[in-house]
A and B are shown apart, each in its own frame.
Chain A
């Protein structure tokens, strides 16, 4: 993984010192609340319902075991002994004291971490494929590029006060696993006709109040031009994005108002001035960055592990878990193992300090000391020997991370919601748990197959409900918590936005509604047809009719 040199370390340390000074000036009354707010937000510090919330960047979701142990230590010393992994591959702590945050940042800096730009109207943490470097469908490893973008965007002086937040995803595989089409910028690696590497650039996707699928504004951008082109996009957005209404301030609105073609022309005109200039990435820089993401010392195997195959044949619980939670690795004899953070009764994405330390130990023992965070709020050990998978499964079961539900209905993506977040209209965690309890029958769940259920406690859509096959949105009706249901959303190459099926429901009714939606699927599905495919074939009307017929 990437390692800081003196320059990187100095920059982060200076940021810590700057933030410590800002905090002290605020506490002394030299900065007003209005003056301090944007400064603390650009360092990931929100003021929440019960306490501040600190969001720490995990660049493109990659963590070392050392970093994970430090997160455990921070959660124990400065929080309440747990953290929450987010849909931007970050981690949040819900109970730090504002006065302690500079000390937390100083600790983070010792393990090459920070909370720079994890909130605020600036370029946020760059996300990438959690299976980077091990995926079988990879065109290029996106991590050197994501690191390049991270560095470029860190304290970028021109774009610290954009109209609104700005999210970038970089993917290097043929199948998009970053939800690139619902990002402000999605960059997907492609090969040109002569084999040259470039990026397809998508702009103006986003979730939130006005969800939109991104538009491709350039089919092939020579890879070396990525930062010049991003500068051009950000500059056009910075100058022309709406600032009169925060709900219309994301880039997607201006792309739509201008039309994607006109927006693209402005970007191209700006890029023409920058193209080939100093921001062009020299090949040696990419070689340098790629040097941090070389393969670990894999062993060579002539065939898949016999023991692994035997264990699968031997045990239905193991084979089921392996089917859902283990992915094919690019190297024979290795496996990619996803740890489910979606055990019923645990808030999705939450991990205790003890668990973090246990996972760090597992990473050291089984996966070259690295852990990845997925935007579905699970963790990944990406380089496990097939020979070790069965043993690892046993360890994960003991820790509560072996729920065989990756990609299934109970693998719910969920924001912290009204239990923690002051923006939320409604709670989300108890609803997720009620749904998980309703679908506890593993045979049934397994038979349903791929079904993404995403839930957000408000229209800011941190729980990505718009791209859930089933989406749940918490809404406020006269001071009461209600839930609006949508179907038909999807992430990936053929991303789509869910359609709301009708009036919202009380919390107690939500599990029944989900059951009815699933029933319609089961009754209508063709063989091997996934939930989303059935929805796309038959439309939302049958779902709507079933749900509301039963309600009246």
Chain B
């Protein structure tokens, strides 16, 4: 069963996540792979030349480390070791907002349905749902809200900059 959500659908995953890689010989020659940040930094030139290598960041990794590489990376993954560890949300936003990363931003690790809306707002566009969960059911999490108030990576204009232009800005009819 595929576990990857992308473009609002459960799709086959062409990428392999390498949690660890010691040397270049650990890489398969004909597979697209996502490698640890340290490995990328150690072998950057060789890996860049392949074109089918992405990088994953741990919560302690500084996204600025990839500032010069964002144009060369088709995929950056951010690891959430536990869904209650929220560092990856900020990492995602910094990759998108500060470093201009436009490739696939993938959430991996303890990724569950109830995180998907927030992850998408923070710039993630691919979600590798935890293996024991139903990815098709998780899709609904993307639509928990239409949108929220704050400025986000997906929608930099906060709601207060659009409120006046939107229809439906009138009183809700509830009482208080």
Contact = CB atoms under 8 A, between A and B. Distances in A.
Contacts of B170: 5-6
Contact of A64 (B85, B90, B176): B176
A18 B145 CA distance: 8
Interface string B56-90: 00000000000000000000000000011111011
B157 interface: yes
Given A38-B84, A111-B174, A277-B151, A158 B157 contact: no
17 contacts: A6-B172, A18-B144, A66-B176, A121-B86, A152-B158, A157-B117, A157-B120, A158-B121, A158-B150, A159-B89, A227-B151, A238-B86, A238-B90, A239-B87, A278-B151, A278-B157, A284-B164
Given A121-B84, A239-B87, 16 more contacts: A4-B172, A5-B172, A35-B112, A111-B176, A151-B149, A155-B118, A157-B121, A158-B152, A161-B85, A227-B150, A235-B90, A235-B94, A243-B85, A278-B151, A278-B156, A282-B161
A111 B159 CA distance: 22
Interface stretch (A9-17, A191-199, A305-313, A511-519): A9-17
Interface string B150-176: 111000111111011010111110111
Contacts of A253: none
A7 interface: yes
B148 A160 contact: no
Interface string A23-40: 000000000000100110
A1 B83 CA distance: 37
A154 interface: yes
Residue of B114, B145, B156 ringed by the most chain A CB atoms within 10 A: B114
A161 B171 contact: no
B146 interface: yes
A243 B87 CA distance: 10
A160 B148 CA distance: 13
A18 B85 CA distance: 21
Nearest to B124: A157
B93 to A, nearest CB: 6
Nearest to A285: B160
Contacts of A109: 174
Interface residues of A, number: 53
Smallest CB-CB A-B distances: 10 pairs: A161-B86, A157-B118, A157-B121, A9-B172, A6-B168, A151-B149, A279-B151, A285-B160, A158-B89, A64-B176
B108 interface: no
A288 B145 CA distance: 24
A110 interface: yes
Nearest to B168: A6
Contacts of B5: none
A112 interface: yes
A273 interface: yes
Nearest to A70: B176
Given A110-B174, A110-B175, A11 B89 contact: no
A8 B122 CA distance: 21
Contacts of A279: 150-151, 158
Q: Classify the secondary structure of A's interface with B.
A: helix
Nearest to B117: A157
Nearest to A279: B151
Interface of A: 1, 3-11, 14-15, 18, 22, 35, 38-39, 64, 66-67, 109-112, 121, 148, 151-162, 227, 231, 235, 238-239, 243, 273, 277-279, 281-282, 284-285, 288
Contacts of B171: 3-6
B169 A7 contact: yes
A285 to B, nearest CB: 4
Residue of A22, A110, A158, A159 ringed by the most chain B CB atoms within 10 A: A158
B169 A161 contact: no
A148 B94 CA distance: 24
A64 B175 CA distance: 10
Contacts of B174: 4, 9, 109-112
A235 B89 CA distance: 9
B114 A39 contact: yes
B168 to A, nearest CB: 4
A11 B118 CA distance: 14
B148 A154 contact: yes
B8 interface: no
Contact of B89 (A112, A121, A161, A281): A161
Residue of A111, A159, A160 ringed by the most chain B CB atoms within 10 A: A160
A161 B83 contact: yes
Given A7-B166, A154-B149, A238-B90, A281 B176 contact: no
B98 interface: yes
Nearest to A284: B164
B158 to A, nearest CB: 6
Contacts of A282: 160-161
Nearest to A156: B150
A156 B168 contact: no
B145 A11 contact: yes
Nearest to B162: A7
A158 B112 CA distance: 16
A283 B160 CA distance: 11
A22 B114 contact: yes
Contacts of B164: 284
A193 B112 CA distance: 50
Interface string B124-159: 000000000000000000001110111110001111
Nearest to A273: B98
